[in-house]
Structure 1
């Protein structure tokens, strides 16, 4: 009886162990049957490396000025009799602008001319008498001097009469009119009668830093960006003069640009931004400036190679707004990473988005 009880007790102890052992294979199989999660790459944007033009530029700002402008003044005194032009009119050099009352100048000229005719006749007679030794040489010389003086006075009188009509010293537009009919005008007075601006050619003067002096020379090209001229606000200009003197106070030197304005769409006084191009290269490998990664004063880019990041050391050349020339280390056609590269490491898995 005791032996039977012992056998039953041992059987009961062995039963849970057997049941537990039978359950392990199914549990293991269920764990192994779960799929593993796929590792995701770093999302980046790429674009193909291509060739193009890169220009090195210096930026500055300037105010457009007329190449020629002047104040018109009177060279003789008189009362304004007639005004022939108004503000906004275009005048040619030498065109009449104002007529002054000129009768006094005309009478003065006629008086001198009459006196000169009498002296000329007397001088002719005296020379004939001198040839017959009837008058002295000194008498002829004194009369000759009188003749020469009157000739000079007549020329001045004729000049005064001519300048009673005030003419334009340059071609251009009448920017301002200061004179009115009936005004008394004094010769060479400081107050101007008109202000004339020749805006067929404009200029812009910029002050550049001293380190740019070696890169700037005459006939270099520049782009100007203007405000208030509509959609066509980019125009071309050319360097005409470069100062060789550097201002000791500001550390800058002056550069003068010439801007053609034959259609007169531009006006003196306009504000402009200047991009002065001192170097230009065509058909070179170039990259967007934001694709460049600088590490320890060295330049790198990342490219996508079979969905993995590859870091390349490059050598850069000249730079333009938005573009950088690559002289070594990068070939055209490579998938250049332009977004997301700043946090990448070499051989990092990528999720590529092509632009």
Structure 2
């Protein structure tokens, strides 16, 4: 019996140090590790409120050149890509028939003018009735109208440019027979380009003529172009709930009609706005919030936002200048979690409590 008790005591004595080691390891596992994150300080900068949209560029002026009379094209004097001015002759048509008709009407007009002048003398001598002199005057006026019409038809033999611009299309060659009202050229005025945005009605009070516009086109990446809001159509389309904003840009350079543009209209600015990077926001649009670093721990802070400007967003309340917000590593965080900001001095590890009497 004494031997059994002695063996039991020896077993208990041998197990005691092992039990203390297990307890120490369990305490070590409970020590919270700091989550590595990236953070930036809340700062102030100028920020702009803007509306962005996309639209193709269009030429403000464009015209189809048509022949106002029929005839053979004797001379074509414009090529695709050529700059022309309003009133410049582009095509000369065969005008022989029109010239003969104009000459014939001119001769008839001269004859009636001479007859009317003699009749006036006879009327003054009371040798001609008032009805006869009136008839001659009406015939003379009709002859003048016929002559003007003949000369107008003769002028149509010279096809002229209705607007100034660049020849974009040509569908005629020398020797072709041209039918009346047939399009033979297309002229595009590239001196000014326009882009029309269909804007939601909530922006009706903010977008006004004269506001500055910045344009980026896919064909010329990295090159901004400046323009302005030229006019606003204040009527809201009941079907789409949008209104039209027309932006104007100087042409004649790299910008061309048909280019697809990304447009930004700045309608307000604040010089010293409190801002944070947009990537600091948590993914909750209904309750915007960030993780702030306070006392080495993550604190979820609800913020009220203002203007968005590129990668920056304005903070109206919830933070102050100098506060640090987490920009990377947010997914692994929870309220009150310990954080280690990358770039700061490394946090000192928390040593596990040693068992009593352990001197190692």
TM-score interval for Structure 1 and Structure 2 normalised by the shorter chain: 0.7 to 0.9
More off after superposition, 148-157 vs 245-254:
245-254
SS at match of 1:330: coil
Name the CA shift for 1:262/1:354 in 2 (closer, same or farther; >3 Å).
Answer: farther
The question of 1:115 aligning with 2:105 is answered: no
Name the counterpart of 1:261.
251
Name the counterpart of 2:131.
138
The question of 1:329 aligning with 2:318 is answered: yes
The question of 1:273 aligning with 2:266 is answered: no
**What do the CA deviations read for 1:195-250 (whole angstroms, capped 9, x no partner)?**
11111211222323344444433333333321222542x32333333333444444
The question of 1:221 aligning with 2:212 is answered: yes
The Cα shift of 1:147 comes to: 1.3
Paired residues of 1:47 and 1:354 also in contact (CA < 8 A): no
List aligned pairs for 1:73-84, cutoff 5 A: 73-84=66-77
Distance (whole Å) between structure 1 residues aligned to residue 195 and residue 285 of structure 2: 41
TM-score (norm 1): 0.80
Paired residues of 2:50 and 2:268 also in contact (CA < 8 A): yes
SS at match of 2:57: strand
The Cα shift of 1:172 comes to: 0.9
**What do the CA deviations read for 1:82-126 (whole angstroms, capped 9, x no partner)?**
000111111111111000111222222222222222222222222
Distance (whole Å) between structure 1 residues aligned to residue 309 and residue 298 of structure 2: 27
Name the CA shift for 1:295/1:156 in 2 (closer, same or farther; >3 Å).
Answer: closer
Name the counterpart of 1:239.
229
The question of 1:285 aligning with 2:278 is answered: no
Superposition CA RMSD, Å: 3.3
Unaligned 5+ segments in structure 1 are 1-12
Distance (whole Å) between structure 2 residues aligned to residue 207 and residue 230 of structure 1: 24
The Cα shift of 1:68 comes to: 0.9
Paired residues of 1:318 and 1:325 also in contact (CA < 8 A): yes
Distance (whole Å) between structure 2 residues aligned to residue 93 and residue 53 of structure 1: 47
Name the counterpart of 2:147.
154
The question of 1:199 aligning with 2:181 is answered: no
Distance (whole Å) between structure 2 residues aligned to residue 141 and residue 46 of structure 1: 100
List aligned pairs for 1:8-19, cutoff 5 A: none
Distance (whole Å) between structure 2 residues aligned to residue 255 and residue 147 of structure 1: 56
SS at match of 1:112: helix
Distance (whole Å) between structure 2 residues aligned to residue 280 and residue 272 of structure 1: 23
Distance (whole Å) between structure 1 residues aligned to residue 285 and residue 72 of structure 2: 79
Name the CA shift for 1:315/1:250 in 2 (closer, same or farther; >3 Å).
Answer: closer
Distance (whole Å) between structure 2 residues aligned to residue 311 and residue 231 of structure 1: 38
TM-score (norm 2): 0.79
Name the CA shift for 1:296/1:106 in 2 (closer, same or farther; >3 Å).
Answer: closer
Indicate the structure (1 or 2) with the bigger Cα radius of gyration.
1
SS at match of 2:119: helix
Unaligned 5+ segments in structure 2 are 1-5, 345-360
